[in-house]
Amino acid sequence: MDNSWDIFCKVVDNFGDAGVTWRLARQLASEHGLKVRLWIDDLGAFARLCPGADPHAQAQQVQGVEVCAWRDPWPGALAAQVVIEAFGCKLPAEYEAALAARPGPTLWVNLDYLSAEPWVGGCHGLPSMKSGGLRKFFFFPGFRQDTGGLLREADLLARRAVFEHDVGIRAGFLRSLGVTPAPGARLISLFAYENDGLPGWLTQLSESAQPIHLLVPEGRVLASLEPWTGERLQPGQCCVRGALTVQVLPFVSQRDYDHVLWACDFNAVRGEDSFVRAQWAARPMLWHIYRQDEYAHWEKLEAFLDLYTEALPAAAAEALSGLWRAWNMDGDMATAWVNFEAHRDVLQAHARAWCEQMAARPDLATALVQFCRNSL
Ligand code: TRH
């Protein structure tokens, strides 16, 4: 084994494609001692997640990973021993040829999207024949035993525990973002796509008995927020309505986004990577799933709800599912939030138990390395 890995990433939209591959690349390099190149076609998206990176460099060394611009025409490079094609992004034809010509064993793996659907386990690890005698294997992240698991850094939960147990660290982090919540306020983070259910939820939050401080990283959801606040908020600015303070945050590094999730009591997340990070934060959460054609995302949503609520008492399971369905299917968020709040303690304990259950399994990077060792 020469320990060289290439990861290819096409940014379809937003930050998830870059977010997942960058996280994986970093972990393969730092925890598994691998020589990793990350080929990415939108360095602008990458630089948002990793401030300090140069969005124009053809190649740069960042946190132990060689990050390269994937440009058309392909600049040419020797193929690595293991190649990860993220989310079916299709390798450059020249690279495929270089892979077929490479002496010694090689491995080509497609890293697929995350889904809790039961069929995933049956497809995880299967090969398909490609031209040039190559085989491509399908590696599926997932929540069930028969999948490749979830991305989780080895020290993640220990770092979260330190953050949680030292109120000074949390307060200092929030201050560094310009966030000074009222005494006793509950913190909620809101990372979502545009959502028509937002105004109803905000009105309900503004009528809470307890102060609520809502942190909104700048991005797409502002389009649904601004009609309710009636003003355009810049990062750092606040708007107060009743019990609710809404504050827009600047987009922070991936590492600091974890801190935002850990600092909050409840997290609304979206896509794939923030969804997983909210699970490691071990707080109750709300998922805005990425929309797909013909409502394919609804099945994914229901599959996750089935799994996540399995161990919950029926009423709490119904309240959580009701909130998630309202958020994703234009339902009544005000009523759904009131129902959810009635089960807050049970759902908090469940979020912790779920996190521990998921963390008892090998993380995705470790499972992927093992899979490659077995297959080479
Ligand atoms: O941005 P997303 O919606 O991304 C995706 C992509 O659109 C993709 O095409 C689609 O298939 C997928 O969703 C399902 O959501 P996601 O996956 O949560 O990615 C967001 C990333 O941004 C994640 O790595 C966390 C990071 N992030 C920061 O680093 N700083 C921030 O301030 C915030 C809010 C997020």
Beta carbons within 8 Å of 168's beta carbon, 6+ residues apart: none
Give strand pairing partners of 136.
108, 128
DSSP output for 235-297: TT-EEEETTEEEEEE----HHHHHHHHHH-SEEEEETTHHHHHHHHHTS-EEEEPPP-GGGHH
Q: Judge if the beta carbon of residue 19 lies within 6 A of ligand 1.
A: yes
* Amino acid letter, 246: V
Q: Ligand 1 pocket check: which of 24, 258, 272, 277 to mutate, most ligand atoms within 8 Å of Cβ?
A: 272
Mean pLDDT (whole number) for 20-45: 98
Mean pLDDT (whole number) for 355-368: 98
Beta carbons within 8 Å of 43's beta carbon, 6+ residues apart: 53, 54, 55, 56, 57, 67, 69
Residue 50: predicted pLDDT? 95
Residue 75: predicted pLDDT? 86
Query: Taking 90 as the threshold, does the pLDDT of residue 137 lie above it?
Result: yes
Average pLDDT, the chain: 96
| 213 and 91 assigned to the same domain | no
Give strand pairing partners of 9.
40
Its pTM stands at 0.97
- pLDDT tens-place string over residues 138-194: 999 999 999 999 999 999 999 999 999 999 999 999 999 999 999 999 999 999 999
Range of the domain at 62: 4-149+361-375
| 198 and 306 assigned to the same domain | yes
Query: Taking 90 as the threshold, does the pLDDT of residue 132 lie above it?
Result: no
| 198 and 71 assigned to the same domain | no
Mean pLDDT (whole number) for 31-56: 97
| 256 and 280 assigned to the same domain | yes
Phi, psi of 334 (to 5 degrees): -65, -50
Query: Taking 90 as the threshold, does the pLDDT of residue 47 lie above it?
Result: yes
Instruction: Give residue 120 CA to ligand 1 midpoint distance, Å.
Output: 22
Q: Which residue has the tokens 């090689």?
A: 106
Query: Taking 90 as the threshold, does the pLDDT of residue 25 lie above it?
Result: yes
- pLDDT tens-place string over residues 181-194: 999 999 999 999 99
| 202 and 125 assigned to the same domain | no
What the block records as the tokens of 368 is 């992927």
| 231 and 206 assigned to the same domain | yes
Q: Judge if the beta carbon of residue 12 lies within 6 A of ligand 1.
A: yes
Mean pLDDT (whole number) for 293-300: 92
| 143 and 233 assigned to the same domain | no
| 371 and 304 assigned to the same domain | no
Q: How far apart are CA 299 and CA 156, in angstroms?
A: 30
Phi, psi of 50 (to 5 degrees): -130, 75
Q: Whose CA is nearest to atom 18 of ligand 1?
A: 274
256, 277 Cβ separation under 8 angstroms: no
Angle at which helices 314-328 and 333-341 pack, to 10 degrees? 150
C-alpha 78: how far from chain center:
31
| 96 and 179 assigned to the same domain | no
- List, by residue number, the catalytic residues: 17, 272
Residue 101: band (very low, low, confident or very high) from pLDDT cuts 50, 70, 90: very high
- pLDDT tens-place string over residues 54-79: 999 999 999 999 999 999 999 888 99
What share of residues in the chain are helix, strand, coil (percent, to 5)?
A: 45, 20, 40
Q: Judge if the beta carbon of residue 257 lies within 6 A of ligand 1.
A: yes
| 312 and 164 assigned to the same domain | yes
For residues 76 and 233, the model is more confident at 233
CATH number at residue 344: 3.40.50.2000
Mean pLDDT (whole number) for 75-95: 95
Query: Taking 80 as the threshold, does the pLDDT of residue 1 lie above it?
Result: no
Residue 138: predicted pLDDT? 98
Residue 131: band (very low, low, confident or very high) from pLDDT cuts 50, 70, 90: confident
Q: Ligand 1 pocket check: which of 26, 191, 274 to mutate, most ligand atoms within 8 Å of Cβ?
A: 274
Torsion angle defined by CA atoms of residues 172, 176, 179 and 180, in that order, rounded to the nearest 10 degrees: 40
Q: Whose CA is nearest to atom 12 of ligand 1?
A: 271
CATH number at residue 92: 3.40.50
Q: Structural domain tally of the chain?
A: 2
| 237 and 279 assigned to the same domain | yes
| 353 and 368 assigned to the same domain | no
Residue 201: predicted pLDDT? 98
